[in-house]
Structure 1
């Protein structure tokens, strides 16, 4: 029994000596593999199984990844079944959607179109030789279908580049919603207010009340 105990102490001491923390180029001993070593190919690694030796494979022709069917023409292409631009945003425009649209607009659009959408972004104010960006507050863009704005974001127009690879579908619609909010901020009337808010303004004698009274 004493010999067994002594042997156990020696083995334990050897095991503890192996945990002394020194650096080594050799892989550690794994009593439990824990999926540390897997038969797999890394990015851009060659695979001799295929004729082109490429481990990274393209999808089988005609297949669609799960969740990527994109069967809604209005949502993904901003077009009706007849091929016309959709008139209205095909998603619910919530406060969160507008906040997301503002965030993405500030990142991708404001440098040219400006924070207010007037076409006076920071790179338009310098002598850089850029074609002036359009103001969103002109009648042509205020009256354009929502689908047109989406299409311009996705595919570009004239000197404006396409952002289809940078801005996902739902973010494009969020930006469209925010652009509409910017347009409304510069082109609102008392008729846009709910009846209770308009009544309150009349009682307070604000600018909207004066404008309504003048009409």
Structure 2
């Protein structure tokens, strides 16, 4: 066997043994990580002030909620109405906003942003998404024109046929 082949085999066996020795059977062992902060970030502690924060007001880490903010899961206005009871929603819920020009214009803006892609510009179910999927109703015809506010709110909140 030639010396160069012998050295090559030694180098290959040494490399193989080092590679296999570096393997671990522990599934929680990540091995060597390049930039570990990308995998496990170091977040701000919202209720603990360790240094002055130049971005937020008063140098605090936690931002003050906007006026009128309701914490998630704390809006309990309609907890008395079961998710599967459209009839109770129809009898008890009313639209709290008066029919003014400003409210109708804001409603049009919200409809355009949130609903139009499925329900279409005229509410006929012919939006770009609504044309590809079945079950998007035509709100401009039939019983939909006479639905009361409670029914509409319940369907938006919980979905149809709940």
TM-score w.r.t. the length of structure 1 is 0.34
Q: TM-score, normalised by structure 2?
A: 0.43
